[in-house]
Amino acid sequence: MFDRNDPVGAMAYKMGELFAIMVDEMNREFGEARGRAAAARAVARFGELRGSAIRQAVIDAGEELTFENMEKYYDLPPNNGWDADTVIENGVLTEDTRYCPLAAAWRALGLEKEGGIYCGIDIAMNQAYMGSIKFERPAIFSDGPDAPCKMVVTKLPD
């Protein structure tokens, strides 16, 4: 059950502030194009690291690389810091998020554009974990002041 006071969510909020401020400073120092590009590369690298580690944990456990096992071996502690629903059917993961502590931090700072670069982690993690995927983001928090986020990840044949 969603809890805005969840400790993992509170930590994510703080890390969201840090990330957005870092990107803002990188933009100021190097220019927006270079700052954003460097941040996007760092997020992709971090996502690949996390997704690969989860993949290895699943393989080491002798289990199949499924979305269910990605969640089972996820690298964050169980928490209620996000208000989200995840549905996995026929090799397709659909996640609808109504509250994200990271996005809440970016909105509070007025740094949605800078913070939103972090959302690239979803595609990087899923590719590193699953391999060939189709990734869709039909909605994202930056679509409006109270906009939700939605992602759809489909496992493709190798």
Residue-wise pLDDT tens digits, 91-118 = 999 999 999 999 999 999 999 999 999 9
- Under CATH, what is the fold of the domain 7-155? Muramoyl-pentapeptide Carboxypeptidase; domain 2 (3.30.1380)
Q: What share of the chain is helix, strand, coil (3-state, %, to 5)?
A: 55, 20, 25
Q: Residue 85: its pLDDT value, please?
A: 97
Q: If we measure between CA atoms, which residue out of 88, 89, 96 comes closest to residue 71?
A: 88
pLDDT range class, residue 48, cuts 50, 70, 90: very high
